[in-house]
Amino acid sequence: MDQLDKNIINTLQYDFPVCERPFAQLAETLNSTEDELINRVQAMLDNGLLTRFGPMYNAVNMGGALSLCAMKVPKNRFDDVTEQVNAFPEVAHNYQRDHEMNMWFVLATETQQELNNTLNAIEDTTGIPVYNMPKEKEFFVGLHFKA
Amino acid sequence: MNQAVENKNVDNDELDRRIVMATQSGLPVVAEPYHQIAKQLDIPTQLLMDRLNAMKQDNRIRRIGVVPNHYKLGYTANGMSVWDVDDAIINEVGEQLGKLDMVTHCYQRPRFLPEWSYNLFAMVHGHDREEVLSKVEQIAELLGNKAHKHDILFSTRILKKTGLRLKEKAKEK
């Protein structure tokens, strides 16, 4: 990763222009060429430095439902409950965290009704209450990762 | 844009939905990426660009750009910091937190009293656990008595990680 790669990461995390030839437009700002930028972005996608290039969609604003949920899972049942929870396709991410609330997962569904049904089904299957913590407000985040 | 981002449930029409399907796994890395997608969808490039801009405008698209692998950039530690803040000042505090380095998400969420009094969540990243802890301490100092208490939850294991995807089937209205 050289300085140009870093500049690309730091610039393109914020905005990739919507125009006929976006890389050509960026070439001026980044003091490079259209071809060079295309090659660099492709190389960083190939080597895993970048995980994505494109529009980031906001699931909730697209009409779907999304929520962060937490559970207090007894230690001796943790692996079994993990298996039960992960078996639901609506569970997108699931993390173990070092707290009494030790399981944190994200539910993503197309409708609010499906989300509620899934919550109930997880409680029924595991016998453990689920704390449902959907975002009530999102605050603008100005800075991303500095390469 | 430093106001709280509003949540609008926008009804996507069929073309928007086709655009999402065509781009949710990414844009082609070519000189004219929008042209290529438009061709694939059999629509004029300008129409595609207009629709993308409209989706950016109403926040259905957060942004268009790259997502770096933060582990590969050396940010291997992350902690979910949680704060108990008076509802009356949560907008002010949330915006303050969002502006800080290495805070990548900042949300207000419901409390569950008495066992969970935290209503503001901020994900804090660092090169190691110590850096995350010192960031959180800096935030605590910055907030002073605006936050009654706080905690930090480090992830100890990823149990599942799959992407969020719209399903192929058309959405029933």
- Residue spans per domain, chain B: 14-57, 77-154
pLDDT tens-place string over residues B99-143 = 887 788 899 999 999 999 999 999 998 999 999 999 999 999 999
Residues 6+ apart with CB under 8 A from A129: A71, A72, A123
Whole-angstrom distance, CA of residue B108 vs CA of residue B105: 10
> Number of A:B CB contacts under 8 A?
243
Q: Is B86 exposed, middle or buried (0-12, 13-18, 19+ CB in 10 A)?
A: exposed
pLDDT tops 80 at residue B53:
yes
How large is the average pLDDT for residues B140-154? 94
Structure tokens at A68: 């962060």
Give the ipTM.
Answer: 0.78
Q: Which residues pair with A67 in a beta bridge?
A: A107
**Is A18 in contact with B107 (Cβ distance < 8 A)?**
no
- What residue has token string 């992407």? B163
Percent of chain A with pLDDT over 90: 78
Provide the pLDDT for residue B166: 54
- What residue has token string 């799959």? B162
Contact residues, chain A, for B27 at CB < 8 Å: 16, 53-55
Whole-angstrom distance, CA of residue A93 vs CA of residue A137: 20
If you ran DSSP here, which 8-state letter would residue B112 be given? B
CATH class label, B77-154:
alpha beta
Identify from A7, A20, A139 which residue to disrupt to test chain B contact, counting B C-beta atoms within 10 A and taking the largest count: A139
Lowest-confidence region among A101-115, B96-110, B146-160: B96-110
Q: Which is more confidently placed, B48 or B172?
A: B48
Of A15, A44, A97, the CB nearest to B155: A97
**Is B109 in contact with A133 (Cβ distance < 8 A)?**
yes
SS3 content of chain B, % helix, strand, coil (to 5): 35, 30, 35
pTM of the model: 0.76
